[in-house]
Amino acid sequence: MSAREGSADEERRRPGTLWTVTRIFPAHAALLDMDGTLVDSTAVVERLWLAWAASHGLDRDHVLGVIHGRQGHQSMAILLPDRPHAQNLVENRAMLAAESDDLDGVVEVPGAAAFLAALAPYPHLVVTSADDRLLRARMGASGLDVPADPVTAEQVSASKPDPEGFLLGARRLGIAPADCVVFEDSAAGIQAARAAGMRVIGVGTGSAAHSPDAVVADLTHVRIAPDGDGFAIAVD
């Protein structure tokens, strides 16, 4: 079954197997966000960004509603629209460095290591708003290997919710966007995947607010299996 032929709304059960599943997504590639999807970095993100917010007299809830999923300089541009963007770029570099050094509380999203191991035979990569240093720091702190050829902040001209990163990831893998399934947690990331013409599985119950195709509480609820010339992603 090809990804084009399979329906994201299909319900299927397989008695007598290890799976009792409600939805199956045929795919030829998986594109994975990092923060909130593979790695739980909520503690450090909120700690550092709320300190930044306080230094600028910004409302904490407004800041937390903006920052997730975006590159830091874009979040700063939204939160402080009247200041020169060059200043956002400078402060974002400092923020990325601080985030890379502060790994207290950074842990694996449950099931992430097993999920990555199951994906190993199939085309997949990470598409993140973090830079390469931060990606490797957080994945390492979580005990996770970084899949080959990640798409990081340095490699795109526009941050999520722009689809550039996901489209670049699909091109690198040589897979049509419609044949890719994205794993994301944030509004900006889910919007980016939609704009790229990809199906989206939301990770974390909070992702349901952003209307992905399916939602899992964490990656322990995802199974990968061969399916024709691609693979099947089963969620329960």
Catalytic positions are 33, 35
Task: Find the angle CA(161)-CA(167)-CA(168) to the nearest 5 degrees.
Answer: 110
In angstroms, the Cα distances linking 124 to 150, 161, 231 are 9, 20, 11
Asked if 103 and 141 touch (Cβ cutoff 8 Å), the reply is yes
Residue with the two structure tokens 């919007």: 191
Within 10 angstroms of residue 50's Cβ, the number of other Cβ atoms is 15
Classify residue 204 as left (phi > 0), alpha (psi -120 to 50) or beta: left
